[in-house]
Structure 1
């Protein structure tokens, strides 16, 4: 890659921090502006999709704009990033995500350190996270194969949609799940519920990688001339 590992890690941390600050901050703002949960969710959805378009566009050329341990895991499995760099990416993403939560709290004059009490558990929620992450990885891998120039928009639009068609409101990101556990706000998730979310997200990501790998294997249509013995 054109950029050294330190710069790539900085891009991953910064991108994840801004993403989480947007998720948590817009959730706080939306909750303050409306008592209608549907309106608040809409106010949380649009900024998240929009910031993903921006972040992937400006930081993608540096680090690949993973901002997500599940995405990094998939690229490590595809051997497009080595194990050491992948591990450091994940640490940078988690650290950046937690920093983003603290920044959002500071902007809204809330206590910096919080522990969420929002319960998000059950088979429906876990299935939703697996589905959400499956769709995200499918979007990324298929987009890279066929429409790489549109990846920022594809991801932003997918997450915007997934907020509304999944029961979990589509975390689809282990680093974001960890970071949101430190916010007792509209966007929060109880720490006890985080491990199951992460397991579901990683499962969905790996299944998507396997499905896309199979679907993108092109049929061999080459033909070979038949040689009749004695006519060579």
Structure 2
């Protein structure tokens, strides 16, 4: 049996917990918003966005010292591409993020008395939505790594939460910007869900957005501070 280094186990566990908690916040607040404001979709989206922004702030603040608080395969890929972590070290993050997101959706369903596993019927693929996912993901990457490369990583919890909260409204797709959470949201037939047939298009757009965001970071912040190297 191969022993897992305790530090690596802690990092992967933090990614699982953070990804699951983030999806629980997104899906759970979406269900609550539907019930609290059944006749006002705009208010539902506002309630969902506020809860997500605040939840992201807390989760990043708590878990960033352990794993970097990626909760997102795109962020992990860019982290490795920019040399902050090795590719080998981030590979275990990916299944932890996806499984965490699925678990978070299941838990949110159960907390609100729904069947724990349901398949979303909400079709979301359209040209504007795919463009929105590309833009939202590129912007997220730029926000995170511009702060890291300019010595302002301490701003990340607030900046990422604020960005995603705003992106709920300035994108047509309501800014999933995360392949793992896209998979997780397939398992909740509620306000925050996405039909499985829509997920591949969203994920492709998110990966393209991650690449574009990486190019922007390299263009605007070509060097990282010595203190940020590890």
TM (norm. structure 2) is 0.92
The Cα of 1:82 is off from its aligned counterpart by 2.3
Q: How does 1:1-232 map to 2 (within 5 A)?
A: 4-34=7-37, 35-146=39-150, 147-217=152-222
Decide which structure has the larger Cα Rg and report it.
1
Cα RMSD (Å): 1.3
CA shift, 1:70, in A, is 0.6
Count residues in correspondence: 217
Residue 85 of structure 1: CA displacement?
2.5
**SS at the partner of 2:198?**
helix
Tell me, yes or no, if the aligned pair for 1:143 and 1:154 is still in contact at 8 Å.
no
Query: Secondary structure of the equivalent of 1:18?
Result: helix
After superposition, the C-alpha distances for 1:81-121 in whole angstroms (9 at most, x for unaligned) are 22232221010000100110011011001001110000101
| Residue aligned with 2:70, SS | coil
Unaligned runs of 5+ in 2: 1-5, 224-230
Q: How many Å separate the matches in 2 of 1:199 and 1:77? A: 18
Structure 1 residue matching 2:113: 3-state secondary structure: coil
Q: Secondary structure at the match of 2:114?
A: coil
Q: Could you tell me how far 1:206 is from its partner in structure 2?
A: 1.1
Instruction: Please give the TM-score of this superposition, normalised by the length of structure 1.
Output: 0.91
Q: Tell me if the contact between 1:97 and 1:175 (Cα under 8 Å) persists in the aligned partners.
A: yes
- Structure 1 unaligned blocks of 5 or more: 219-232
